[in-house]
Amino acid sequence: MHRMTACTLAFLALFLTCGGSTLAAQEDGAKPLSIVRFTPSGKDTAATRQIVLEFNRPVVPLGRMERTAEETGISISPAVNCQWRWLNSTALACQIAEKDSLQEATEYKITVSPKITAEDGATLPEAQTHSFTTSLPRLVDSSMVVWEDPASPVLRLSFNQPVTKESVADHIYFQDEKAAGRISVSVAADKNDEEPPKIRGDQEARPLWTVKPAAALSANAKILLNQEGGLLSSEGTEAGIESGTIREFYTYPDFGFRGVYCFDKKNQEILLTPGTPQTDETLCNPMRPVSVSFSSPVLRSAIIDNLSITPALNGGNKDFKPWGDENRDWSRLSDDRREQAADFRTPLPVGLKAAQDYVFAVNGQKPSLWERIVAFFKGEETVQVSGLKDEFGRPVPPFEIRFATGHRNPNYELVYRDAVLEKDIDSELPVYVNNLESIGIDYRKMTAEGHENGSTGDVKVPFVQDKQFAVPAKVRDILDGRSGVLYGTLNTTPAVEDKWDGANRMFVQVTPFQLYTKLGHFQSSAWVTDLKSGKGVSDVKVTVYVGSLADPRPPQNILAEVTTDADGLATLPGLEELDPDLSRMAAWKDEDKRLFVRIDKGGDMALLPISYDYEVQLWNVATGIYSSSEQKFGHMKAWGMTAQGIYRAGDTMQYKIYLRDQDNNRFIAPPDGKYTLEITDPTGKSVDKKEAVALTEFGTLSGE
């Protein structure tokens, strides 16, 4: 009885479901057939390889989806060679091959006659039409090519399709921001465009054109390059519709000297102009670049030949040519001139002396007899001009500027921030100083006797003004003549500004040993040699421990301790034991905990921080070889097999998996413990996951 009830319920459920489907189909069939969407649509549409008509309800059953143009009753003008196909039961597409692409700048008209018939016999109530326009001609880029004269630029215009020369001339124009009217453009083919033009009627069409003003523009004025709708393409009959400003720029002013750019003692850039007195605050910093500035581009060679600098940049050494022998001219006539105050600078090839008065001048030249005669009959005054001309050939009026440099700012340089000094050799860590009164070092030191913190106090620096020289850091004195390690920070009087954090930090050691350490995953090696002879050193105590670079102390957190053999070699544990998760290898800051390898023998020591500063990568000496550190168990290998190659959904898969660890020489059995097995499909999606899986004594796992 119960089974009969269950079957009856199942039958009723199926019946109701089927009835619901029939009712839905009837409701759809009651709707009039119509087209709800055409794709593409509108003007200036992007390139497409499909024209799609979407109906408001299913029209055809799934099956034969291809149709001929006659079967669809659809016409397109201009004609399009395409394959008609139903994408699904509601969407019909005209699929276009690449060789039959739609023409640009063309309006296409689609007429759909009431020929398409739905399964229930419904057709469109009447013919429907639709139109769209493919991509219209438009400007996509502009750039400055060259200035032919101070008020006549040549610009390169790039279009999305070939456009006619005449339409560019008619619909692109210059305009002075402060004047009414438009200035026509003169259009020419781009010299770098090697493609032959396309022809529209009797007109050339190109995707690249150059334009320049047909009449001279105003000097030192803001100019707009504008466009308006009307560009015509060789590809179709529809004109471009975009309008607006393409580019803004400024024409050149008269050629003139603007001044000298330098940096003050606070490292702020300043402009010195002729006749403007300097103050202590505007003295030029002799350690920063200096350049001369003009209102229009000047070739470097013209400045070399005409600019007088006193005292000379060569310091009186006739064999020294600060500007060099070769011609290093480069034209700047393609400058965009986006700012009215834009200038053109030429840097001096060398720095200026400290606390020195300078005179930069360009002298005038007396007009020739002929120039004076012409000026007399014109009633004009004769003026002196100079030999220094800009790239347009305009001479600059003679000028002279007087200015001075200041003293060098106090400074120091620690060239060797990590250093090793050989014991029993007369060497020191140099500190290069400039205009400093004193230096001092706050330190933390470690020797075989222990560790100690302290400070040298202020150590007076010899007075040598505006000259950089080296003074010893006296690391050996701080270590009391012993072998040891020093971490210190340098302090100066006066304080040096604008130094980066860490510029005054030093890590220095005095030792008779050279220590190499090769870190492996399973095993590491240390090699100790004598700096004096290069021979291996035996019976050296090697200790690996965890510590901080900024606070060197005797080993406490000891991870390994061995002794070198007769060749100075010692074997150490690998990183899987010394740093299982590689966190110590990732130490970055001096205060971070990291690995250290320390060696001791007879009161002498050396310390090797495991740090990138001391690292030698294999790819530096052997191309294509590099280290690949892994966390503990990172070098385990797993592989497996199944009973067959391909499985269908729902099949039972039988598998066997092998797992092996490695040591320094070979594969070994994996460690005991619980493992997690996860199976994924080709897309990476997890199919099955089993926790706490145990391996057999042979390191295998099987199941289904």
pLDDT at 4: 39
| Residue 188 within any structural domain of the chain | yes
List Cβ neighbours of 41 (8 Å cut-off, separation of 6 or more). Answer: 130, 132
Name the least confident of 197-201, 301-305, 621-625.
621-625
Which residues span the domain enclosing 18? 1-26
Q: Which of 235, 250, 265 is the last residue of a domain?
A: 250
List Cβ neighbours of 137 (8 Å cut-off, separation of 6 or more). Answer: 104, 105, 159, 160, 161, 163, 167, 231, 232, 233, 239, 240
pLDDT tier for residue 13 given thresholds of 50, 70 and 90:
very low
CATH code for the domain in which residue 51 is found = 2.60.40.3710
Q: Does residue 23 register a pLDDT over 60? A: no
CA pair distance 182, 174, nearest whole angstrom: 6
DSSP string, 53-70: EEESS--S-SS--EE-HH
Q: Does residue 22 register a pLDDT over 70? A: no
pLDDT at 623: 66
pLDDT tier for residue 633 given thresholds of 50, 70 and 90:
confident
Task: State pLDDT tens for residues 526-577.
Answer: 999 999 999 999 999 999 999 999 999 999 999 999 999 999 999 999 999 9
φ, ψ of residue 678 to 5 degrees: the values are -130, 130
DSSP string, 514-563: EEEEE--SSEEEEEEEETTT--B--S-EEEEEEEETTB-----EEEEEEE
pLDDT at 371: 75
550 and 469 belong to one structural domain: no
| Rounded mean pLDDT, 175-192 | 94
370 and 273 belong to one structural domain: yes
Task: State pLDDT tens for residues 194-244.
Answer: 899 999 888 999 999 999 999 989 999 999 999 999 999 999 999 999 999
261 and 357 belong to one structural domain: yes
List Cβ neighbours of 700 (8 Å cut-off, separation of 6 or more). Answer: 656, 657, 658, 659
Task: State pLDDT tens for residues 502-513.
Answer: 999 999 999 999
CA pair distance 293, 97, nearest whole angstrom: 59
112 and 145 belong to one structural domain: no
| Residue 626 within any structural domain of the chain | no
Nearest to 299 by CA among 390, 419, 418, 186: 390
pLDDT tier for residue 628 given thresholds of 50, 70 and 90:
confident
647 and 588 belong to one structural domain: no
CA pair distance 609, 593, nearest whole angstrom: 11
pLDDT at 277: 94
CA pair distance 133, 151, nearest whole angstrom: 40
| Residue 437 within any structural domain of the chain | yes
pLDDT at 644: 84
| Residue 426 within any structural domain of the chain | yes
pLDDT at 402: 97
pLDDT at 172: 98
270 and 394 belong to one structural domain: yes
| Rounded mean pLDDT, 287-313 | 97
Q: Does residue 622 register a pLDDT over 80? A: no
Q: Does residue 602 register a pLDDT over 80? A: yes
CB 128 within 8 Å of CB 73: no
Q: Does residue 20 register a pLDDT over 50? A: no
234 and 302 belong to one structural domain: no
Give the three-class secondary structure for 170: helix
| Rounded mean pLDDT, 673-678 | 90
Task: State pLDDT tens for residues 352-396.
Answer: 999 999 999 999 877 777 877 887 787 877 777 789 999 999 999
Q: pTM to 2 decimals?
A: 0.74
| Residue 627 within any structural domain of the chain | no
CATH code for the domain in which residue 211 is found = 2.60.40.1220
Question: What total of structural domains would you count in the chain?
Answer: 7
CB 599 within 8 Å of CB 582: no
Nearest to 175 by CA among 210, 143, 139, 215: 215
233 and 264 belong to one structural domain: no
pLDDT at 30: 58
Kindly report whether the peptide bond that precedes residue 398 is cis, defined as omega within 30 degrees of 0: no
244 and 265 belong to one structural domain: no
266 and 372 belong to one structural domain: yes
Q: Which of 103, 119, 134 is the last residue of a domain?
A: 134
CA pair distance 289, 274, nearest whole angstrom: 19
| Rounded mean pLDDT, 19-31 | 46
- The total number of residues shown for the chain amounts to 704
Percent of the chain clearing pLDDT 70 (strictly above) = 95
| Residue 628 within any structural domain of the chain | no
| Residue 526 within any structural domain of the chain | yes
305 and 392 belong to one structural domain: yes
Q: Does residue 406 register a pLDDT over 90? A: yes
Could you tell me the CA-to-CA distances from 543 to 446, 447, 559, 588 in Å, in that order? 15, 15, 8, 22
Mean pLDDT (the chain) is: 91
| Rounded mean pLDDT, 108-122 | 93
pLDDT at 541: 98
List Cβ neighbours of 505 (8 Å cut-off, separation of 6 or more). Answer: 414, 417, 487, 488, 489, 490, 590
pLDDT tier for residue 8 given thresholds of 50, 70 and 90:
very low
CA pair distance 628, 613, nearest whole angstrom: 18
| Residue 629 within any structural domain of the chain | no
306 and 324 belong to one structural domain: yes
Q: Does residue 325 register a pLDDT over 90? A: no
pLDDT tier for residue 416 given thresholds of 50, 70 and 90:
very high
